[in-house]
Chain A
Amino acid sequence: MDNPLTLEPLFHLGPVPITAPVLVTWAILALLGLGSWHATRHLSLTPGRLQTVLELFVTAVDTQLRDTLQRDPARFRALIGTIFLFLLVANWSSLVPGVEPPTARLETDAALALIVFAATLWHGISAQGLKGYLATFAEPSWVMIPLNVIEQITRTFSLIVRLFGNVMSGVFVIGILLSLAGLLVPIPLMALDLLTGAVQAYIFAVLATVFIGAAIGDQPPAASTQETRP
């Protein structure tokens, strides 16, 4: 059984070792980037099939963001939408024979969680100012400062381990079943993995939204968004 925690480099690019998850990540990035570029070249007011799907996706992300953050989703749409789309494609990339999802490795998940962590800091500071953001650590009283700082670290860590554990355990179980029972037996578990992958991508995106929402604070929302809500 392969060790799920360490990696062997496939080849070296100069001094940098390149591993299989990095290659898969590059492929997904190229696929998503070129796909998005191609799909948004010919946008029209009477959308075709592809544009309708894209608009549906963007509207769904917007609705989710507006419900959670209670403000205009335009500033957060790119980050959260990209994270969700990338995770969905990455978790489902195990459908391609011979490909192991890059999220089944600790490093990819750590990179994504650090992006969310940095975005949390950046949005918090840009929304409340450096002083105002630091002051939120002392709420409800200064006694809570160590706990609030620890919370920032542990929740980032749990974001990493949640995604890693769920995707990796799916790959691991399929590997064990294949070695025990052989062809066609792991198919129901692969179907379960598709569900798990989609749910984990959704949860990662929702948690990123919630963390950013907690960092920017609950100032009174813009008047227009409040009036449209029942």
Chain B
Amino acid sequence: MTANLVEIVSILAAALAVSFGAIGPALAEGRAVAAAMDAIARQPEAAGTLSRTLFVGLAMIETMAIYTLVIALLLLFANPFA
């Protein structure tokens, strides 16, 4: 096992980036879905429009988590300091 300090820190940083980066989008997606459920319960006839908008919004929110994933992959596979 010969891993130098930069590699150890990179792996730790990648894990930290994904774990903490997932918290915010997870909370946001929960709120968005809850709001959409509320709206559909009040107005079932608008369910089609609401769910379409919901999917697009969820994809937008999810992008924030994807950004951290890209950062993690950069650290693991294309680390400029390793």
Q: Are B66 and A162 interface neighbours, CB within 8 A?
A: yes
The reply to whether the CB of A70 lies closer than 8 angstroms to some CB of chain B is: no
Across the interface, which residues of A come within 8 angstroms of B60, CB to CB? 203
Interface size class of A (residues with CB under 8 A): 10 to 19
Q: Are A166 and B66 interface neighbours, CB within 8 A?
A: yes
Across the interface, which residues of A come within 8 angstroms of B69, CB to CB? 165, 169
Q: How far is the CB of A80 from chain B (nearest CB, A)?
A: 16
Q: Is the interface of B mostly helix, strand, loop or mixed?
A: helix
Q: Are A166 and B63 interface neighbours, CB within 8 A?
A: yes
Q: How far is the CB of A154 from chain B (nearest CB, A)?
A: 12
CA A196 to CA B77, docked complex, whole Å: 24
The reply to whether the CB of B20 lies closer than 8 angstroms to some CB of chain A is: no
The reply to whether the CB of A194 lies closer than 8 angstroms to some CB of chain B is: no
Given contacts A196-B59, A200-B59, A206-B56, contact A4 B77 (CB under 8 A): yes
Interface size class of B (residues with CB under 8 A): 10 to 19
Q: How far is the CB of A147 from chain B (nearest CB, A)?
A: 20
Q: Is the interface of A mostly helix, strand, loop or mixed?
A: helix
Given contacts A161-B66, A169-B66, contact A3 B56 (CB under 8 A): no
Q: How far is the CB of A40 from chain B (nearest CB, A)?
A: 29
Q: Are B77 and A199 interface neighbours, CB within 8 A?
A: no
Contact with B along A138-180 (1 / 0, CB 8 A): 0000000000000000000010011011100100100000000
Q: How far is the CB of A4 from chain B (nearest CB, A)?
A: 6
The reply to whether the CB of B6 lies closer than 8 angstroms to some CB of chain A is: no
Given contacts A166-B63, A169-B66, A169-B69, contact A3 B55 (CB under 8 A): no
Nearest-CB residue, chain A, relative to B55: A199
CA A109 to CA B10, docked complex, whole Å: 26
Q: How far is the CB of B46 from chain A (nearest CB, A)?
A: 17
